[in-house]
């Protein structure tokens, strides 16, 4: 039986389309407190570029959030949030404007979705006179190569009849000319940083279309159409701008938005979780706790590649601190995480249940799972 007062760090990412990282923190705290009411619990919500990145960095820096009415992925107006970290630095989550959660299940098709709203968020940051814009790439509904984003910033894409093309991945194959003469002049004085956990290139077997578009509603036939469109787009960028984007690491992030940001805004990519860990001073907490609990919606072999829980485990391993991972589910290859510093892994699911029900009841399931973990520690 544990007698002393425990110090526990709770540092998860969001459970996508269900709970924010902060809500996950509070649910885990509630479950632990049922068993250890006197434990010292430090809550540090994390993100790796996807949902929760704005909140994590705003909280860490004492910044603030702003809202903007922008074009959603299907063309309808939505309210999107961005963060201001001091006077000159901004943080955007592309998912806030162009995310998959904004598209009903029966309308998910990356042939039709656009990143135009993300470009409008960038423009809002320019209006605030920011000189550094960080853009988190993750949880996107799109596969348009960042064309929509670029269109919102004044760049024009035209077909062989000199007509402006429409929105969505279906129009990539129609582009014949790229006109940057009307690109927002303010971008010349702005540094753009991509925050992402994705290293995939734009095209190919590990590219944006083949790997990610099925998660956004693409059938095998649509995947092939998107792949052809992205390859055509990459050739045009090389011909028109002299930039070989096709093989660049991370260009495939967010349906190719990474490529668009690199090609049209000169963006540089960094690890999203590494930057968030730095801003939140996570290592200072890890040094002084007895146990760490982290997690995300799904723990599987993909978690290893730059996801938030993996960032936590890497640091914890240096300090020989035990790490427990909690996921909405444990997916293929989750056992590989044991080799990466995780002590144990748990799913919140208590029995046969649909994904929809698990997402609906995620908060209570998370509380219950955290209590079970705490009772195990108490023995």
Mean pLDDT, 10 residues at a time, over the chain (379 residues)?
Answer: 80 90 96 96 92 90 95 97 93 96 95 98 97 95 98 97 96 96 96 91 94 95 97 96 92 96 96 91 96 95 87 94 95 93 94 85 95 90
Q: Is residue 245 part of a domain?
A: yes
Output the average pLDDT for the chain.
94
| Predicted local distance difference test score (pLDDT) of residue 49 | 87
Is there a single domain that holds both residue 191 and residue 340? no
How many domains is the chain partitioned into structurally?
A: 2
**Within this chain, do residues 211 and 351 fall inside the same structural domain, yes or no?**
no
Q: d(Cα 335, Cα 11) in Å, to the nearest integer?
A: 20
Q: Are residues 111 and 211 in the same domain?
A: yes
Query: What SS3 class is residue 158?
Result: strand
Residues 265 and 225 in one domain: yes
| Whether residue 113 sits in one domain with residue 15 | no
Residues 256 and 188 in one domain: yes
**Domain for residue 281, yes or no?**
no
Structure tokens at 90: 């901004």
- Which of 272, 300, 329 is a domain's end point? 272
- 239/317 same-domain check: no
**Any idea what the CATH number is for the domain that residue 170 is in?**
3.90.1510.10
pLDDT at res. 352: 83
Give residue 90's domain range: 53-272
Which pLDDT score, from 0 to 100, does residue 3 have?
55
Q: Are residues 234 and 310 in the same domain?
A: no
Distance linking the first and last C-alpha atoms of the chain: 5
Same domain, 204 and 322: no
Q: What is the pTM of this model?
A: 0.88
Query: What pLDDT, on a 0 to 100 scale, did the predictor assign at position 354?
Result: 86
The last residue of a domain, from among 245, 272, 299: 272
Strands (E), the chain: 7-10, 40-43, 64-71, 77-84, 89-93, 132-136, 156-158, 177-179, 191-196, 268-271, 291-299, 323-330, 344-347
> How many CB atoms lie under 10 A from the CB of residue 233?
29
In the structure encoding, which two tokens stand for residue 166, read together?
Answer: 């429409």
Give the domain-ending residue among 272, 298, 332: 272
* Whether residue 233 sits in one domain with residue 108: yes
**89 and 208 together in one domain:** yes
Per-residue model confidence as pLDDT tens digits over 31-70: 999 999 999 999 999 988 888 899 999 988 999 999 999 9
Q: What is the DSSP letter of 268?
A: E
Q: What is the pLDDT of residue 2?
A: 60
330 and 194 in a single domain? The answer is no
Query: Which CATH number does the domain housing residue 12 bear?
Result: 3.40.50.10350
Does residue 1 lie within any of the structural domains?
Answer: no
Looking at the domain assignment, is residue 277 inside a domain?
Answer: no
202 falls within a domain: yes
């Amino acid at each position: 039986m544990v007698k002393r007062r425990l110090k526990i760090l709770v540092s998860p990412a969001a459970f996508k389309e269900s709970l924010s990282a902060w809500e996950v923190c509070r649910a885990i705290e509630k479950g632990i407190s049922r068993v250890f009411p006197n434990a010292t619990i430090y809550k540090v919500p994390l993100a790796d570029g996807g949902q929760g990145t704005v909140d994590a960095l705003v909280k860490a820096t004492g910044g603030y959030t702003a809202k903007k009415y922008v074009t959603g992925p299907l063309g309808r107006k939505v309210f999107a949030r961005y963060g201001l970290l001091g006077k000159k630095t901004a943080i955007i989550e592309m998912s806030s404007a162009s995310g998959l959660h904004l598209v009903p299940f029966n309308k998910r098709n990356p042939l039709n979705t656009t990143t135009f709203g993300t470009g409008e968020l960038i423009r809002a940051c320019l209006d605030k006179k920011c000189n550094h814009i960080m853009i988190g790439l993750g949880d996107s509904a799109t596969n348009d190569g960042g064309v929509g984003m670029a269109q919102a910033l004044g760049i024009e894409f035209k077909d062989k009849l000199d007509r402006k093309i429409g929105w969505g991945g279906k129009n990539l194959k129609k582009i014949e000319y790229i006109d940057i003469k009307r690109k927002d002049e303010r971008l010349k004085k702005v540094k753009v940083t991509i925050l992402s956990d994705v290293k995939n290139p734009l095209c190919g077997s590990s590219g944006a279309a083949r790997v990610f578009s099925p998660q956004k509603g693409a059938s095998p036939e649509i995947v092939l159409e998107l792949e052809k469109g992205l390859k055509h787009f990459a050739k045009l960028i090389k011909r028109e701008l002299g930039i070989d984007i096709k093989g660049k690491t991370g260009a495939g992030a967010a349906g190719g938005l990474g490529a668009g940001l690199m090609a049209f805004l000169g963006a540089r990519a960094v690890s999203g979780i590494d930057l968030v860990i730095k801003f939140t001073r996570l290592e200072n907490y890890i040094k002084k706790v007895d146990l760490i609990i982290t997690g995300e919606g799904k723990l599987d072999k993909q978690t290893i590649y730059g996801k938030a829980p993996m960032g936590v485990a890497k640091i914890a391993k240096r300090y020989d601190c035990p790490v427990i991972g909690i996921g909405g589910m444990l997916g293929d290859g989750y056992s590989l995480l044991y080799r990466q510093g995780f002590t144990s892994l748990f799913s919140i699911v208590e029995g046969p249940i649909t994904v929809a029900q698990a997402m609906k009841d995620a908060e209570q399931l998370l509380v219950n799972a955290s209590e079970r973990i705490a009772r195990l520690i108490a023995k």
